[in-house]
Each structure stands twice: as C-alpha cells, then as structure tokens.
Amino acid sequence: MNSVGAIQSTKQIEILKKALIERSKRDYLLFIFSINTGLRLTPLLHLTLNHVMKDGSYNEFLESSITETTDIYLNSEVKRALTLYVNEHPSNENFYLFHTKKILLIQLQDSRFIASYLKREKMPDLSIQSAFIV
C-alpha cells in the first residue's frame, strides 16, 4: 500500500502550483485560495464573485459571515490567482468561483492528473489530498 505525506517544502508547493496552472486556472485558484486562507473545501465551493469583488476591485477580506469563522485576509497571491481566473469567466456577481455539477468526477480526474505529474517530478509521496484541505 502506498502512503502519502504532507507538503513539507515551498519547492513542493511551487511544483503543485505549476501542475495546477497548466491543468486549469480554476484548480489553481482553488489551491491558492485554500493554502493562503486555510478555508476548508466546503466554504470555498460556496464562494461567489460577489464575495471577493465589489465595484470592480477585490475585497481585502472575506467576511466572517461567509467563512463561518473570522474575517480572512485575501493576500496578493490570492488576488493574482483571482485575476487570472476571472478574466476568463463571466463577470456576473452571482457567479460561483468553483461551480461544477460533476465535483466528484473532477476531483478524481484532478487527483489522477496531479499524481502523474508528481510522479514525473519524482515526488510520488505527495498527493492531491496533501494539497487540499478537505
């Protein structure tokens, strides 16, 4: 049985970022959002453009009513990833950032893609579960 470990270095994070941005800007944004805010997957999946952007500029914080914890700061890396993603998608304020009807299938496909990428990069002990807080 294979075992997986946690991400232990910034080099591993950079490799995952590269794999994800090549795959999908949505997946890249999901990863960047999760590692920079510490939010779990469920609150992330409920985020709309309106939660992160008002009047054409990004909010500085996600409000506690959204995160179900405290206000969470959106740093420059999150805003950069948002810009990459939003520029390719509709700007409807009710647009779900991570909307998909096939979330389980996509997670499985992403897991397979990242596993093959990590194997190529000689990092087989990491997995998608290491990357996302579920």
Tokens representing 49 are 């453009």
Segment 109-125 shows an average pLDDT of 64
Q: Which residue has the higher pLDDT, 18 or 119?
A: 18
pTM, 2 dp = 0.71
Segment 84-91 shows an average pLDDT of 82
Please list, in sequence order, all residues whose beta carbon lies within 8 angstroms of the beta carbon of residue 74, skipping any fewer than 6 positions away: 36, 37, 52, 58, 59, 60, 61, 62, 82
Give pLDDT tens digits for 1-23.
556 677 778 888 898 898 888 88
* Helices assigned H by DSSP within 1-134: 10-23, 25-37, 41-45, 49-52, 64-67, 76-86, 103-120, 128-131
Place of tokens 């520029």: 87
